[in-house]
Every structure is written in C-alpha cells, then in structure tokens.
Structure 1
Amino acid sequence: MEAGTFLPSPPPLSQDLAISTHGLTKQFDRHIAVNDIDLQVAAGEVYGLIGPNGAGKTTLIRMLAAAEEPTTGEIYINGDRLLRDQSNPKLKQRIGYLPDDFPVYEDLTVWDYLDYFSRLYRLREPRRTRRLREVLELVQLTSKRKSLIATLSRGMKQRLSLARTIIHEPILLLLDEPVSGLDPIARMQFREIIKTLQEAGMTILISSHVLSDLAELCTSVGIMELGYLVESAPLAELYRRLSRQKIILSSLGDMDTLAAELKNYPLVQEIERISGKNQIRVDFSGNPEESAMLLRSLVEAGIPLTEFHCTQEDLETIFLKLGHQQVS
C-alpha cells in the first residue's frame, strides 16, 4: 500500500501552522502545570516534546487534544481556534490523540475493536471496511484481525491503539509516551509506522523519555521544565547550537606527545586522557572541514595516529545540559 492512502491528502507545501498556542496556561488549585506557553508547530512536522516527569507535557498535550480546558490562553489547530466550554466537533475530527494510559477492550477481537471506533466516528460503508483494512496493514496486524486483544503482546496492543487513533484520518496526531514499556523491537516497529504517517503528510507531536527514538524521528524538539517551554527549535539547529563535537584519538607513539601537539590548535578544548586505554578525547569547536584539517596537521607533524573518530553530543546530553542550566 502506498503511504498516501493512509490520509485524505497531504497538507499544502507551506509553513502553515498545524499547532499555534498563545499564553497557554493551566492551573490546578495553586499548582501551575503549564505556564504561559507559546508553541508553534509547522504542518508536516514531527515535533518531539521532552522533559522530566511533572514538567507539564501530558497537561499540554491534553489541552491540545481538547481533553483539558486551559485556564487562560488560546489554541489554534490548522488556523482554527479551539473554543473553551464548547465541544469543537469539527476540530476534534482532525485530531488523533493517544494518551499514555488508554485502555483496550481485551474481550474484543482486533477487527471488532477497530470497527467499534470507526462507527463512533460515523464512518460509513464501503469506506469503513476499506479504512479498517488500511490501518491494520499499516500497523502490521492484518494477520491478527480475528484474534482476541487479550492474546496480543504489549507492542501489538500499542500498535492497535495507534490504529484506533488514526481510524478517522486525522491530520494532527498527538502521542503521549507511546513507546513506554516497549522492548527495542516493538519501539522500532512503532518508529517505522510514525515515519510512514509523516511521509503521508500527517503532523505529529510526540512526547517520550526515549530520546534516541525522538532524535531519529523528529524534525523539531521542545523542552519543558516546571511548566515552561524552555526551548523550542528545529533539531538540526539544537545540534548546531548546543551539541559539542568530540574527537577520540589513538596513537602508536607517546600520548603526552600527542596531547602536547593538540594544545597547539585553538579549536581543541578540554583534552582528556581516557583511563585504561591508549586514547585521548577532546572537545572540538570546529566544523567537519576543520576537523579534517586537524587530522592532516597531526599526520604532517609525525604523530602515528591509529584512530581519529569524530562524534557529536546526542539529544540526551543536550537535554541534560539545558536542564542543568535551568537549575543553576
């Protein structure tokens, strides 16, 4: 099946915003769970929302899904405002929301479960049967269509929950910790489904504590701390601005000689000997072309290098670094 069959049609190729909030705030008694958030997510993006427990991620997602009323502030979904104290039926039709604790009905078969929700969304034949077949194929559960949900693995149940979430062909998907408790293979299967949905034109906002998954999936990332959105930027920009490049070097020669030579280069910072290994790790503030120049210079200086390996700090390191900055 081609990716385009999963959605009615992709959004226009523009920078139209799928999500826009202004001063969004949610207060429970004296506790402010979400504090004055201005969030913008462009149509077609996969936006990752990260932060520690209690940062306000779930409350923010619930407000975007119209499952929680804001205390103050405004929410726009594809340019249309979510109105407080109203049911917003047309806007809800565009949204698919998968909370982190949505129950499945274990005594139903996979097909009957999806058929039940398709009827709630008033899908009519022949579209209803066609849609059920499409989402079952997407989440790789076609062979399980007659199986009782009680017999499915945790990963299968989570993929079934995703199928239920997209049965009505929403254009915005809100996922709250969808891979929590899944094993690596199940997480990989879930990631591939998310990639397919993005390719079909869907906008996806996903929260997760598995930052390696978000780094692979997301085009942009938002970081929440104590109810505030402390960072929101394209992932590539975050890496460029906050991720330091590290180089690991090994040599057949004396490591003190290598360290002394490295000190001649202003882009080399924080030279560190790796204990138990004949290696040095340095922070390097240059670009890839400048790291290539460093390698050439070391070879020309007669350093018998056996390893010159460049890496960048990952999303988890960036998150921990930003969290430390907020604390201090």
Structure 2
Amino acid sequence: MESEYAISTHQLTKQYDRHIAVNQVDLQVEIGEVYGLIGPNGAGKTTLIRMLAAIEEPTTGEIYINGEQLLRDSSNPRLKQRLGYLPDDFPLYDDLTVWDYLDYFARLYLLKQPHRRYRLNDVLELVQLTSKRHSLISTLSRGMKQRLSLARTIIHEPMLLLLDEPVSGLDPIARMQFREIIKILQSAGMTILISSHVLSDLAELCTSIGIMELGYLVESASLKELYQRLSRQQIIISTLDPLETLETFLKNEPSVEGWERISGQNSLRVGFSGGSEESAALLRSLVIAGISISEFHCTQEDLEAIFLKLGHQQVS
C-alpha cells in the first residue's frame, strides 16, 4: 500500500537530452524515518530530491507522498504545502533581520497571527537563534545561516523534509548542532530525507540508507541490515613488541582475514571472521604466546568502508 510510505516512487526517471540523471528508481521511505542518500557527485541525488520536491518534472515514473500522487501541475496544492525542501544553494537575504526573514516566509505559507508569531518563536528556539532574532543575516556565521535556512524550511510544519547537502562546508561544532536539530525533528514525527557526503553524520542520524550510482539506486536498506550484511568485524591490536612478531603469530589464526598496519602506531587493523568467543580466544592465545598487548578492541567497518566497498563492486 502506498499509504504505508512517506515516499514511494515507481520507475522514476529523469532524462536531459541524451543524459539520464535518474534511472528507473524505485524508492520507499517509511513514515518517520531519517533516510540518508549517498553517492558520488553526478550520481543523481540532487535531481531525485528536486523531483520529490515537485521542482523537476519526471520524464517518466510516479511519485507518491504519504499515499497521494505528487504532480507538478496545479493539483493537490495542500500536499505541496506539506513539503519542506532545503537545497544546497538557497540564497539568504543579507539585508533582512532573522525575524523579518522568517516572517516573510511564514506569510508566504499563509500563516496567520497569532499563530505565526508563536511559530516563529518556537522555530527560533529550536535552531538556537532566539538571541539573534533582531540581527541582520549578513552578521551571522555560516553555521547560523544554515540553521536559519532550516528554520525557513520547517516554518510551515511540513510532514516531509528534503535536505540536499545541508552540512556542506560547516565546521564540526556547526555539524553537531545541525544533527541535534534533525534528531528533535525526527522525534516529533517528521520524515526526513537527507543527502550528504559526510557519512559519519548519516551513520549517526539515519535509520536507512540509499546508495546512488550513475542514476541508479543500487542499494536501499536499513542501516542495521547494511551493517549486518556488509560490515566486516575488525580488531585493533597494539603491541609493545615488534609488529613482525604479532604478524607472524596472526598468520596461523584461522579467523584472521588479513590485516593492515596503522600509520604512526605500533598497531594492526585485523580483519576477523569470528564472533565474540573467537576474539576472546585470540586474546588469550596472544597472552599465552608472550606477546605484549597494549590494546585489543573489536570494531566494525563504518559506513564509509561499506560505501567504498559497494562502489568498487559496481565498477568491477
């Protein structure tokens, strides 16, 4: 049933002359999810998001938002009003104050007083800009401007939020502030689709991930499923002995699937096929063999490693 999904597309395709930017994409995003869209530049992410925001007309295919078909004509204006879209290059009006800028967009969305005033105050508090309400936009930092752009995008309380590279160019503190706002919006029941090259942010935020390559959606799954299916376990082992001693020992361990030296440290990143019992047995064996171990901890390949692995599979 289409109504089960916040977003559902069928064979969605966008072609410019001879170039196919989005190719027969079938995408399903459940209500309340934070869905991360990743892929190299030119993969079709922005074009897909622009079609979901009713800015681009699909060449072929269908889009359903909360069970209703989305069309670019004058039909279902109520549905379009429930979308929030933040492109990666939306201009701000530097000569306006923060309050006047948000009030302008609130009036465009036909918010009436006194609700409009309450909504502006709520949104400014959410994006941590209450103290800047009377400041000119030209005086804001890049992180503040991006939070203001997000405030403009959610001023009308959309049910679906589409964010295209929202943390591009932000410093780590500004990215952390942006992540926390996204978590609050999700907890309030909003469905969010977000594209980003900062995969560590997506790994922290998202419930599901889609990977695009050359216009195709080559992977779409919950983050948990991706990790279970594609993330190898690794063990970081540091020793006080020469690394060669540790490497000689690991050659005879059946659960060890190769390793790499960690630059600048007397440590190895070891690929490991066993579970917790096998890793505990490996540590015991190292100690019994007299190898001086200063660090031993299990980890998993991160989202970036999974993305690079899938990209390699597509090329090879």
Q: Residues 170 and 324 from structure 1, CA distance in 2 versus in 1: closer, same or farther, beyond 3 angstroms? A: same
Q: CA deviation at 1:289?
A: 4.0
Q: SS in structure 2 opposite 1:108? A: coil
Q: CA deviation at 1:84?
A: 4.6
* Native 8 Å contact 1:95 1:173 kept in 2: yes
Structure 1 gap ranges (5+) = 1-14
1:158-169 correspondence runs (5 A): 158-169=146-157
Count of matched residue positions in the alignment of Structure 1 and Structure 2: 314
> TM-score when scaled to structure 2?
0.93
1:122-201 correspondence runs (5 A): 122-201=110-189
Q: What corresponds to 1:119 in structure 2?
A: 107
Amino acid in the other structure paired with 1:49: L
CA distance in 2, matches of 1:114, 1:100: 18
Which region of structure 1 is more displaced relative to structure 2, 64-73 or 296-305? 296-305
Q: SS in structure 1 opposite 2:100? A: helix
Structure 2 gap ranges (5+) = none
CA distance in 2, matches of 1:179, 1:277: 32
Amino acid in the other structure paired with 1:126: P
Q: What corresponds to 1:97 in structure 2?
A: 85
CA distance in 1, matches of 2:261, 2:101: 58
Amino acid in the other structure paired with 1:107: D
* Native 8 Å contact 1:70 1:84 kept in 2: no
Q: Does 1:202 align with 2:224?
A: no
Q: What corresponds to 2:209 in structure 1?
A: 221
CA distance in 1, matches of 2:278, 2:188: 39
Q: Does 1:239 align with 2:227?
A: yes
* Native 8 Å contact 1:248 1:281 kept in 2: yes
Cα root mean square deviation, aligned: 1.9
Q: Deviations over 1:37-90 (max 9, x none)?
A: 000111111111011111100000001011111111111111111135345311
Q: CA deviation at 1:277?
A: 4.7
Q: Deviations over 1:90-149 (max 9, x none)?
A: 111221100111111111111111111111111111211110000000001111111111
Q: Deviations over 1:229-278 (max 9, x none)?
A: 01111112112221222222233456555334333332211144557654
Q: What corresponds to 1:290 in structure 2?
A: 278
CA distance in 2, matches of 1:272, 1:121: 56
Q: Does 1:248 align with 2:236?
A: yes
CA distance in 2, matches of 1:271, 1:103: 48
CA distance in 1, matches of 2:89, 2:151: 15
CA distance in 2, matches of 1:247, 1:33: 40
Amino acid in the other structure paired with 1:185: I
1:269 to 247, 257, 282: 257
Q: CA deviation at 1:300?
A: 4.0
Q: Does 1:327 align with 2:315?
A: yes
1:314 to 288, 297, 302: 302
Q: Deviations over 1:187-245 (max 9, x none)?
A: 11111111110111111000011111111111111111110001111112112221222
* Native 8 Å contact 2:55 2:72 kept in 1: no
CA distance in 1, matches of 2:114, 2:299: 53
Q: What corresponds to 1:33 in structure 2?
A: 21
> TM-score when scaled to structure 1?
0.90
Q: SS in structure 1 opposite 2:212? A: strand
* Native 8 Å contact 1:96 1:165 kept in 2: yes
CA distance in 2, matches of 1:226, 1:143: 44
Q: SS in structure 1 opposite 2:79? A: helix
Q: SS in structure 1 opposite 2:299? A: strand
